[in-house]
Amino acid sequence: MRLRSTWRSSDWGYNNMEFQHTSVLLEQTIENLDIKPEGTYLDGTLGGGGHAFAVASKLQGAGRLIGIDQDEDAIAAAGERLKPYEERITLIRDNYANAVEALAGLGIYGVDGIVLDLGVSSYQLDNEERGFSYRYDTALDMRMDRRQSLSAKEIVNEYSETELTRILRDYGEEKFAKNIAKHIVAARQDKPLETTGELNEIIKAAIPARMRAVGGHPSKRTFQAIRIACNRELEVLQDSLDGFIDLLHPGGRLCVITFHSLEDRIVKSAFRKNENPCTCPPDFPVCVCGKESKGTVITRKPILPTMQEMEENSRAKSAKLRVFMKKA
């Protein structure tokens, strides 16, 4: 198995806690990739390697898979899981925003299929020290790539009330964004906020009791919003989709699994724009802008998990799969 740099699991703090993540919409994704045995494929969100393993198992001969993830634990775990196919796999520790450049560094300028599973892994949520979950009282972190300096702690303690309100409203669709931001700013006047438990208590105080009793855990939307801001998740997605479509060989497919409406809206819009980029006024009899379609949206409506999958994996409930095929 080829890696961009020599590594040992201990070098990256891999703590042997099993990287568990049940791949959502796995069968539907593999089916829609329409895998060519000797094709080249990219998994831009490697995670525990579930989708990558399924892709690699269908490759033969010159078939090749490149897996990218910015989480060192994911790279270590996926490396172990993918050992049966190590001769045809290259793993890169990076953000998928840099995938086109990373592949060019390997001499790869086109691929036959791309998978993006945008969900936070079960490992990340269940690993207490990562600070992704409101279920544990631990240090505020939420970094998917622990090499970056910005963490949830800096966001909570240093961002203005206006900026916090915008993040909670836009990324978490939180009704009480303004009041939560106000409470955060007031609390940090006494001392910096250090833990997820402290943030939980502030959120609880900012949301009326009658509203805390409905809609799941009161901290869910705020934690989601801060995580998205910390890792620039929506900006990275927005900035990457056009490049991924350009990277596809004719007939190649891009499969994207989203887990909330903000991601899904970005994917839906990007796919539609690449299918029909014409900017001419609707009343023009013929197109004069010269912009040509790059392909076809395969999924007019998103593919959703089956009832059985949702029953077996609660984190699949909000998942949606959209597929774009490059013009042949």
Do 200 and 322 belong together in one domain? no
What is the per-residue pLDDT for 20?
53
Answer yes or no: is pLDDT of 40 > 70: yes
Do 137 and 223 belong together in one domain? yes
What is the per-residue pLDDT for 11?
32
> Among 9, 27, 26, which Cα is nearest to 18's?
9
125 confidence band (pLDDT: 50, 70, 90): confident
- The answer to whether the beta carbons of residues 7 and 69 sit under 8 Å apart is no
Q: Region 211-230: what's the mean pLDDT?
A: 91
Percent of the chain whose predicted confidence (pLDDT) is above 90: 82
Q: Region 213-218: what's the mean pLDDT?
A: 83
Do 211 and 271 belong together in one domain? no
Do 267 and 195 belong together in one domain? no
Do 11 and 104 belong together in one domain? yes
Residue 193: give its domain's CATH number: 1.10.150.170
Do 138 and 107 belong together in one domain? no
Domain end (from 197, 231, 265): 231
Answer yes or no: is pLDDT of 14 > 60: no
Domain containing residue 135? 127-231
Look at 190-194, 249-253, 259-263 and tell me which has the smallest mean pLDDT.
Answer: 259-263
Do 251 and 119 belong together in one domain? yes
What is the per-residue pLDDT for 131?
92
Q: Region 134-156: what's the mean pLDDT?
A: 96
Residues in the chain: 328
- The answer to whether the beta carbons of residues 297 and 282 sit under 8 Å apart is no
Do 226 and 253 belong together in one domain? no
Do 119 and 151 belong together in one domain? no
What is the tally of structural domains in the chain? Answer: 2
285 confidence band (pLDDT: 50, 70, 90): confident
315 confidence band (pLDDT: 50, 70, 90): confident
Q: Region 102-111: what's the mean pLDDT?
A: 98
Do 142 and 291 belong together in one domain? no
Local structure of 42: helix, strand or coil:
strand
Work out the burial of residue 312: count CB atoms within 10 Å of its CB; fewer than 13 is exposed, 13-18 middle, 19 or more buried.
exposed
282 confidence band (pLDDT: 50, 70, 90): confident
What is the per-residue pLDDT for 49?
93
Domain end (from 198, 231, 264): 231
For the chain, what is the mean pLDDT? 91
90 confidence band (pLDDT: 50, 70, 90): very high
Element containing residue 28 per DSSP (H, E): helix 26-33
Residue 69: give its domain's CATH number: 3.40.50.150
What is the per-residue pLDDT for 4?
46
- The answer to whether the beta carbons of residues 297 and 322 sit under 8 Å apart is yes
Higher model confidence: residue 108 or residue 127?
108
Do 6 and 119 belong together in one domain? yes
Question: Could you give the residue ranges of the DSSP H alpha helices within 95-232?
Answer: 99-105, 122-126, 152-158, 161-172, 177-187, 196-206, 209-212, 220-231
Q: Region 208-212: what's the mean pLDDT?
A: 88
Domain end (from 231, 252, 287): 231
Q: Please give the model's pTM, rounded to 2 decimal places.
A: 0.90
Look at 2-11, 101-110, 249-258, 264-273 and tell me which has the smallest mean pLDDT.
Answer: 2-11
What is the per-residue pLDDT for 10?
30
> Among 301, 289, 298, 299, which Cα is nearest to 325's?
298
- The answer to whether the beta carbons of residues 261 and 323 sit under 8 Å apart is no
- The whole-angstrom separation of Cα 296 and Cα 250 is 11
Look at 3-17, 71-85, 142-156 and tell me which has the smallest mean pLDDT.
Answer: 3-17
Largest CA distance in the chain: 65
Do 300 and 210 belong together in one domain? no
What is the per-residue pLDDT for 123?
76
Q: Region 25-37: what's the mean pLDDT?
A: 97
